[in-house]
Structure 1
Amino acid sequence: MSRVLIAGESWVTQSTHIKGVDHFTTSSYVVGVEPLRKALRSRGHEVTHLPAHLVPAEFPADPSEYDVVVLSDIGANSIQLAPEVFEQARPGADRLANLRDWVSNGGGLLMVGGYLSFTGFEGKAAFRNTVLHEALPVELLPEDDRVELPAGANATVTEASHPALGGVSGEWPPLLGYNRVRPRPETTVLATLNDDPLVAVAGYGQGRSAVFTSDCSPHWAPASFCEDWDGYARVFGGLVEWLAG
């Protein structure tokens, strides 16, 4: 059993309704982590979810109580800029540097794709400009890195025997998009999408890091992928177990 922290995978949506001269707003809170949390728990892992709105205040300065940290659809600013730094101009912990060092000392890091992962929508995820970029098994693009696949595309598995894929076999269900990245020379690419890395792994110091460049939940991962496919738990379970060593 591994202790896993998942940061991100939640969001607030606000809508404005305009009816003639009158208007009003409604808000909703959505949690997208459930497919991943369910899959990891089914394999015996202890999962802690830190929703996106709590990340700035509560992301740990020292992640050593966990074996694997998963960053999913949460930008670099939310981790780097704690309230005392952003709102009060007081020095605080550099949590991305601490996370990088924790990986180098034996931790396991997984970044999952989304609009606020890697470089992200309009470059707003911004991990390329941080020290955590060093720990990832891929090079990030300097521009918006999203590739939308509205008709869907199937992954191509390139290293089926690697333990990080959890023994999954057969064709993967289609995915609807991903973040484009470039593998580093020492990286092992386990699966591709449109000839770009989908699953890639590498060592970093004494630790390990991995990426899954598409989504772990809608919208890039439709229900056929994250709910109906028995390979979903194998892939993400295999990644976490490989990262935990």
Structure 2
Amino acid sequence: MVRVLYVGDTQVETLIAAKGIDTFTHTYYRDSAKVLRDALGPRPGVELTHLPASDIRTRFPNTKEALDEYDVIILSDVGYQNFKLPHGNRDRLVPMGPNMVTPFRQWVLDGGGLIMAGGWLTFSGINGKGMWGGSPIEEVLPVTIERGVDDVIDHPDGATIEITDAEHPILEGLSIPQDRIILGYNQLHPRPESETIATSRQDPFLVVGDAGKGRSIAYATDPVYHLCGNLHEWEDYGLLWERMVKWAAREI
């Protein structure tokens, strides 16, 4: 059984509506993560736990023992600041609290599996707000990341995905239909020792590699709305993610 911690893909939105001279606000919670939970959660040999973005700073595992409860961690559409800044420093605590980043990086090097999926706040992100470039976590990814640069490439006309290594265990026997299109992705820069096994418009889409005793995957688009387009409606979408987590866990 591959134990997976899926982090992110939730948000709280506050909107201001104006009707003539009258305005009002309303706030709601958006759980986009349901898309990947429904696709990956029921897959055989996978035990999936989801951590909403709002709970990262208080509930993300920050010790080796806590991290070892999982085999693979998926980060999707969550910025680096959620991990580097401990929760609750209004009292000017010194030190601020547990360091979540160093144990996380070491967990990967010691054999953990890491998947970073694209979005507005992963990799460099929209307006550079993801801030993963230059972080200790970048060191264990199969790609390098821009710093302070908006790396989101939009394709509102739709882009297809091309498999470049059909024999890789993640993609063996899979065929991505040309009517499954994405609407954008983050620009990735594969490391020389990594392998790009799928592209979109000749840009890296799926990049895999080793990190010490662990493995990591860079998946360029968001696994849920909106950049993923209609890819999540592909009948083998859940199988693709099952293979990704099992490869990251060295199960295949």
Regarding TM over 0.5, the answer is: yes
Cα contact 1:165–1:234 (8 A) shared by 2: no
4+ runs deviating over 4 angstroms: none
Structure 1 alignment gaps of length 5 or more: none
User: How large is the RMSD of aligned CA atoms in angstroms?
Assistant: 1.5
| Alpha-carbon offset, residue 196 of structure 1 | 1.4
2:90, 2:75 → 1: CA distance? 21
Question: Which of 223, 226, 231 is equivalent to 2:236?
Answer: 231
Q: How many residues align?
A: 243
Cα contact 1:166–1:237 (8 A) shared by 2: no
What one-letter code is carried by the residue in structure 1 that aligns with 2:132?
Answer: F
| Alpha-carbon offset, residue 207 of structure 1 | 0.4
1:82, 1:122 → 2: CA distance? 23
2:84, 2:153 → 1: CA distance? 26
* Residues 1:55 and 2:40 are matched in the alignment: no
2:193, 2:224 → 1: CA distance? 29
For residues 29-40 of structure 1, the aligned pairs below 5 Å read 29-40=29-40
- 1:140-168 CA-partner distances (Å, limit 9, x unpaired): 11211000000001011101111123642
Structure 1 residues 195 and 8, CA gap change in structure 2 (3 angstroms): same
1:210 corresponds to? 217
Q: TM-score when scaled to structure 2?
A: 0.92
Q: Percent identity?
A: 37
1:86, 1:164 → 2: CA distance? 45
- 1:90-123 CA-partner distances (Å, limit 9, x unpaired): 4222212211100000000000000000000111
Cα contact 1:157–1:191 (8 A) shared by 2: yes
For residues 17-32 of structure 1, the aligned pairs below 5 Å read 17-32=17-32
Structure 2 alignment gaps of length 5 or more: none
Residue 62 of structure 2: SS of its match in structure 1? coil
Q: Which moved more, 1:89-98 or 1:101-110?
A: 89-98
What one-letter code is carried by the residue in structure 1 that aligns with 2:227?
Answer: W
Q: TM-score when scaled to structure 1?
A: 0.94
For residues 146-157 of structure 1, the aligned pairs below 5 Å read 146-157=152-163
1:148, 1:244 → 2: CA distance? 31
Greater per-residue helix proportion: 1
1:43 corresponds to? 43
- 1:61-111 CA-partner distances (Å, limit 9, x unpaired): 031110000000000001121214576434222212211100000000000
Structure 1 residues 169 and 79, CA gap change in structure 2 (3 angstroms): same
Cα contact 1:73–1:113 (8 A) shared by 2: yes
| Alpha-carbon offset, residue 15 of structure 1 | 0.7
Residue 89 of structure 1: SS of its match in structure 2? coil
